[in-house]
Amino acid sequence: MYKTKKEIAEALNYYSFAGEKVQKAITEDDIYITKGWTFVNMSATKSRLGYTGIDIFDYPLNEYCEAYGDLFYMSNKSFKDYVDTEVDFSGEYPREKNPSKVTVVSSKVTEFKS
């Protein structure tokens, strides 16, 4: 079990990136522990895989580093302020109080020239 922010950051960097070269790895500043959950700001990482949002883990983090969910985190609020004000802890797992709505618009190709 990983309990300190340092241990959690080291474990997640190992399991998330597994040797991938990243410009910015997960740091202790990217981790917020509250109400029995660990929130990790993946948007702060500079991975070529383009990780974004906030990953949610149980606390303490288990040896498999299993995420229980994620949040979009498209806000001007700081990472910790977003978790404190925009996350609903009343259910089995934390979730956004007002989740982003995605609208899919289909389009039709009317002409194609090669």
pTM: 0.82
Residue 14 inside a domain? The answer is yes
Are 17 and 29 in contact by the 8 Å Cβ rule? The answer is no
What digits encode the pLDDT tens for the residues 18-34?
Answer: 767 777 888 999 999 99
Q: How far is Cα 97 from Cα 43, in angstroms, rounded to an integer?
A: 20
Which amino acid is residue 42, in one-letter code?
Answer: M
Q: How many domains does the chain have?
A: 1
* pLDDT of the chain, 114 residues: tens digit per residue: 999 999 999 999 888 777 677 778 889 999 999 999 999 998 877 766 677 789 999 999 999 999 999 998 878 889 999 999 999 999 999 999 988 777 777 777 666 565
Domain containing 47 equals 5-96
In a domain, 46, yes or no: yes
Separation of alpha carbons 57 and 33, rounded Å: 9
